[in-house]
Amino acid sequence: MRSTPKKTCQAIIDSGNHYLGAVKGNHGNFFKAIKRHFQPQERVDSVERGHGRVERRSVSICRSIELFSEAQQWAGLKTIIRVVSYRHLLKGKYLIINKPTTRYYISSLEETAQQFSRRIRDYWHVENKVHHVRDVTQGEDNSRIRVQPLPNIFALARNLALNLYRHNDFDNMAQAQRRAGQGLDVLVTLFRMK
């Protein structure tokens, strides 16, 4: 049986849990309807500064599910969330203002805009801490290893490396990987070998 987002949502609800998932352009008419008919009922704004950029974020929620004709096809759907992000880059004394990015989410939860904002930010922290590091620093997406069980073995090795780096108080995984590649003495230290 092929897994689809709607079936996945149904399985999550059937198991007694809740979901919060992104709605993208590949959801066709439902995505278009959300963009067209979204009416914010509550909104929260936030500003974050760091890493040479300023990001303003506006999170709005809509609980008027009846506005969306395909909404009943999504099990337990109670809230539609819109996140508009403005990322400004600081280049010396200049501020480069980029176009806003708008993302939409659906959820079976009934929470405030503030709570959804926190949930979505927490998700992106995980994405940045794990997946981005694996994709960029360790080149996982560029890997040509396709024959089982090698992809699983290499994923375990990458996870082991990240856990060793973090356990040894490295904040920058790229720096940790470079240091580990400098010689066996660094690897002995990481593995706490005698």
pLDDT per residue as tens digits for the range 88-100: 887 777 778 788 9
**Tens of pLDDT, residues 9-39:** 999 999 999 999 999 888 888 999 999 999 9
For residue 131, pLDDT beyond 80: no
Q: What is the pLDDT of residue 136?
A: 74
Phi, psi (5° rounding) for residue 105?
Answer: -135, 155
- Averaged pLDDT score across all residues of the chain: 85
Sign of the torsion angle spanned by Cα atoms 115, 116, 117, 121: positive
For the chain, what percent of residues have pLDDT higher than 70?
93
Q: In whole angstroms, give the CA distance from residue 53 to residue 94.
A: 11
Q: What is the pLDDT averaged over residues 160-165?
A: 83
pLDDT of residue 38: 95
Which of 37-41, 136-140, 177-181 has the lowest average pLDDT? 136-140
The CA-atom distances, in angstroms, between 27 and each of 6, 23, 185 are 10, 7, 52
Whether residue 2 has pLDDT greater than 70: no
Residue 105's pLDDT is 95
pLDDT value of residue 69:
82
The pLDDT value given to residue 92: 78
- Of the chain, the end-to-end C-alpha distance in Å amounts to 51
Residues 56, 98: Cα–Cα separation, whole Å: 11
What is residue 128's predicted lDDT score, i.e. its pLDDT?
Answer: 66
Distance CA 60, CA 137 (A): 34
Question: Residue length, the chain?
Answer: 194
Residue type, 34: I
Average pLDDT over residues 101-106: 95
Evaluate the CA torsion angle 151, 152, 155, 161 in order and state its sign. negative
Q: Which residues have a Cβ under 8 Å from the Cβ of 73 and sit 6 or more positions away?
A: 6, 30
For helices 173-180 and 150-167, what crossing angle results, to 10°? 100
User: For residues 173 and 161, what is the distance between their CA atoms, to the nearest angstrom?
Assistant: 9
pLDDT at 127: 67
CA–CA distance, 114 with 59 (Å, rounded to integer):
8
